[in-house]
């Protein structure tokens, strides 16, 4: 997508505007398959629930990892069949379980003993189970993303995982073990540690034939060392490998276009934009830094270069897009915020009655309006009353 096309789309659909490059996502899934030829992929829908993206996942033969009723409904609607559905997450309430049963979801990852009792109480179904193991180490990522840390709410320590596996195996529905150690992993040394921990569990439970290593690859992570760590383990034991990537295939396929509403000069410049934490929560939530650049207008001289903060329009200090940036941005300029394909639209909110922007997908080079922008009427669509 070149600068002129971005300007044209911003004019046509307004800003803020999400762009999602499906060609890029298709290529990234191809790279995943090439790196892990033995793996089955269960795309983590939480990264980006775009309907067009899920349709692409369905057509590619991959499946989906879903943690809410809404995600599961989206995956089913996109045509992902039950045998490629995996239910995850520490909650898994009755609506999610009922919908999973109706969809014939092949797998669920059990995060606690109570979760197993709830599934068991529902009566027999098609679903088989993985036990989520808490590996008990921080993979060195942001604390919010370190789901493998011993004090995190996720999974069970190996001893308890084994006890639960014995119960599930006694019912004949144990399929394997699952670890998702964290997100934004760039260092493959996490995976041998995880496999060392899982080996005794697979030694003990003959019926366990699936190892699910979650997702977590940082967008710029080299997959080769991860594959080198994982594939010998899987092949030597004849296991089925499942991976649940969310961020890796999607992050760099998404862009957010936003316009500068004000440039406040001072000790530091504040560029106030029409997008912020309601459209992209990651900077506020994780201190994430996204690439930001001015989309130049040919023939128009750039604004003076300054150093400062790229801010959102809301009344929160956390409402910002980028810190300490050097930009030649002035009022009316269009900014491109990069790497928003993962955990961008999926974390949007209506905070301060902000409106969710339109989304344009790009496929075979051509743009397509995939989601219209919300209007103020959408804000009270679900209200009841006042009469």
Ligand X SMILES: Cc1ncc(COP(=O)(O)O)c(C=O)c1O
Cβ closest to ligand X, residue 246 vs residue 313 = 246
Using the minimum distance from each CB to ligand X, give the nearer residue, 346 or 361: 346
DSSP 108-146: EEE-SHHHHHHHHHT---S-EEEEEB---S--SS-GGG-
**DSSP for residue 331:** T
Q: Using an 8 Å Cβ cutoff, are 107 and 67 in contact?
A: no
Q: Which is nearer to ligand X, 17 or 340 (CB)?
A: 340
CA atoms within 13 A on the CB side of 333: 26
Tell me the C-alpha to C-alpha distance, in Å, between residue 56 and each of 45, 49, 317, 342: 12, 12, 38, 16
* Closest approach of ligand X to the CB of residue 182, in Å: 8
Nearest approach, Cβ of residue 43 and ligand X (Å): 9
Least distance (Å) between residue 266 CB and ligand X: 37
User: CB–CB of 103/76 below 8 Å?
Assistant: yes
Name the minimum Å distance from CB 215 to ligand X: 3
Q: Residue 44 Cβ, how far from ligand X at the closest point, in Å?
A: 3
Phi/psi of residue 80, nearest 5 degrees: -80, 120
Report the C-alpha gap between 341 and 268 in whole angstroms.
29
Q: Which of 170, 267, 315, 384 is catalytic?
A: 315
Q: Pick the closer one to ligand X by CB: 175 or 319.
A: 175
Contacting positions for ligand X (CB under 6 A): 44, 47, 65, 88, 147, 180, 183, 214-217, 244-248, 342
Nearest to 214 by CA among 238, 191, 186: 191
Q: How many degrees, rounded to 5, is the angle at CA 277 between CA 379 and CA 72?
A: 65
Q: 15 vs 66, which CB is nearer to ligand X?
A: 66
| 315 is known as an active-site residue | yes
Enumerate the active-site residues: 315
């Amino acid at each position: 997508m070149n600068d002129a096309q971005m300007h044209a789309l911003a004019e046509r659909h307004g800003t803020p505007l999400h762009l999602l490059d499906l060609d890029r996502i298709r290529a990234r899934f191809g790279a995943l398959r090439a790196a892990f030829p033995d793996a089955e992929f269960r795309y983590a829908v939480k990264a980006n629930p775009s309907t067009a993206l899920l349709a692409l996942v369905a057509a590619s033969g991959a499946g989906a990892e879903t943690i809410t009723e809404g995600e599961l409904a989206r995956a089913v609607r996109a045509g992902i069949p039950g045998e490629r559905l995996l239910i995850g997450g520490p909650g898994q309430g009755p609506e999610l379980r009922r919908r999973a049963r109706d969809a014939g979801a092949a797998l669920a990852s059990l995060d606690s003993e109570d979760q197993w009792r709830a599934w068991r109480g529902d009566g027999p179904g098609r679903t088989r189970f993985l036990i989520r193991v808490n590996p008990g180490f921080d993979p060195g990522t942001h604390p919010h993303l370190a789901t493998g840390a011993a004090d995190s709410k996720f999974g069970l320590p190996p001893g308890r995982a084994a006890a639960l596996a014995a119960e599930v195996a006694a019912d004949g529905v144990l399929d394997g073990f699952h670890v998702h150690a964290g997100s934004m992993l760039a260092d493959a040394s996490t995976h041998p540690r995880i496999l060392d921990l899982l080996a005794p569990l697979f030694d003990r439970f003959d019926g366990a034939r699936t190892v699910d290593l979650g997702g977590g690859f940082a967008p710029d992570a080299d997959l080769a060392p991860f594959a080198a760590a994982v594939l010998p383990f899987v092949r030597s034991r004849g296991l089925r490998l499942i991976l649940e990537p969310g961020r890796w295939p999607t992050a760099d396929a998404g862009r957010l276009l936003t316009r500068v509403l004000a440039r406040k000069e001072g000790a530091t410049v504040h560029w106030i934009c029409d997008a912020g934490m309601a459209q992209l929560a990651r900077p506020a939530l994780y201190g994430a830094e996204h690439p930001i650049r001015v989309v130049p207008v040919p023939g128009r001289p750039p604004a003076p270069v300054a150093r400062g903060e790229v801010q959102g329009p809301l009344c929160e200090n956390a409402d910002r897009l980028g810190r300490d940036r050097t930009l030649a941005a002035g009022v009316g300029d269009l900014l491109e915020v990069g790497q928003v394909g993962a955990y961008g639209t999926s974390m949007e909110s209506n905070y301060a009655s902000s409106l969710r922007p339109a989304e344009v997908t790009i496929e075979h080079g051509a743009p397509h309006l995939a989601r219209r922008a919300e209007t103020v009427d959408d804000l009270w669509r679900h209200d009841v009353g006042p009469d």
